[in-house]
Amino acid sequence: MLEQDLASALANDQISLVYQPFLEVDSNRIQGFEALLRWQHPIHGSIPPAEFIAIAEETGLIHPIGEWVIREACQAAARWPEHLRVSVNLSVAQFRNRTITIVNTIVRALADAGLSPTRLEVEITESILISKFDATIALLESLSALGITIALDDFGIGYSSLTYLRKLPLHRLKIDQSFVRDMLIDADCAAIVKSVVGLARELRIAVIAEGVETIQQLDYLRQINCSEVQGYLVGKPIPIEQVAGLLEKQLPDNIAMRRQP
């Protein structure tokens, strides 16, 4: 049933994107937003991506939906201040036998939106890399050559092969929220988070902690020099109409600082 409904969901405007901010810890400034899918079903209400992305992957609907996500996110970011980036999640199924198509889709979306490639980030998970490792590396390298940045999402919960860190053109590691959630109650989690931050620094890769919900977690991450954070403490995912308001809220401080003689 849901399969059929998903097929018409895009055309019926039931699919939308919400945007969750990233915060730079040092400057306290928002650096950009991650685009996250939402499906408002007319009968079942809001269906989380964890449920419908699997359906989209099985049915092949991931291709039109994934293309729509990239185009929509680029259009949105083109209207934001220029220092902000937008990141989109790419699923393993979007890569399967379609490596050239996906590069073309991204290039066209950037051109149509008038967005610089350096403002787009793609988030992949390690599952993308399990099959066709060489083809995937080639694809990521062509995106990287265009100036697009690549983030490894949910780092730590997959196979976390350190080979990926050596062979992939990675710009950012996103430490999975499960480690962040437990790091203040579990010394092993804290050790893992601290080590990943250190590893990323040594490899000259940026690092972002996902799922930061409390000031205490932010304090710990600041202490260990984690450069960016994302999570409900900074902001929940919000519809596009609320992005400008959130950016303005952080403005008074920044403006005040700039106005100092």
Q: Which residues contribute to the site for Mg ion (CB under 5 A)? A: 89, 123, 153-154, 210
Spatial contact of 228 and 25, defined as CB atoms under 8 Å apart: yes
The closest of 30, 80, 82, 24 to 251, measured between CA atoms, is 30
For the beta carbon of residue 134, count every other beta carbon within 10 angstroms: 8
- Closer to ligand C2E by CB, 102 or 197: give it: 102
Q: What are residue 153's phi and psi, to 5 degrees? A: -80, 155
Give the nearest distance from C-beta 210 to ligand C2E in angstroms.
Answer: 6
**Distance separating alpha carbons of residues 173 and 204, to the nearest angstrom:** 11
**Least spacing, CB of residue 174 vs ligand C2E, in Å:** 7
Q: State the minimum distance, in angstroms, from the CB of residue 253 to Mg ion.
A: 27
Contact criterion met (CB below 8 Å) for 127 and 90 = no
Taking 3-state DSSP, the helix, strand and coil percentages for the chain, each rounded to the nearest 5, stand at 50, 20, 30
Q: How far apart are CA 240 and CA 221, in angstroms?
A: 28
- Pick one of Mg ion, ligand C2E, none as the site partner of residue 50 (Cβ within 5 to 8 A by kind): ligand C2E
Nearer to ligand C2E, 101 or 251 (CB): 101
Q: Residue 169 binds which entry of ligand C2E, Mg ion, none, with Cβ cut-offs from 5 to 8 Å by kind?
A: none
Task: Count the alpha carbons within 13 Å of 219 in the hemisphere toward its beta carbon.
Answer: 4
Smallest separation (angstroms) from ligand C2E to the CB of 140: 16
231 binds, among Mg ion, ligand C2E, none (CB under 5 to 8 A by kind): ligand C2E
**Toward ligand C2E, which CB reaches closer, 41 or 254?**
41
Cβ nearer to Mg ion, comparing 89 with 149: 89
- CB 6, min distance to ligand C2E, A: 13
From the list Mg ion, ligand C2E, none, which binds 211 (C-beta under 5 to 8 Å, kind-based)?
ligand C2E
Nearer to ligand C2E, 5 or 123 (CB): 123
Instruction: Report the interface residues with ligand C2E, using CB under 6 A.
Output: 20, 36-37, 48-50, 53, 69, 89-91, 123, 153-154, 177, 211-213, 231-232, 237
The least distance separating ligand C2E from the CB of residue 248, rounded to whole angstroms, comes to: 22
Task: Name the residue nearer to Mg ion (CB basis): 33 or 220.
Answer: 33
Q: Residue 111 to residues 34, 65, 140, 230, 240: CA-CA distances in angstroms?
A: 20, 19, 19, 28, 21
159 SS3 class: coil
239 binds, among ligand C2E, Mg ion, none (CB under 5 to 8 A by kind): none
User: d(Cα 62, Cα 230) in Å, to the nearest integer?
Assistant: 26
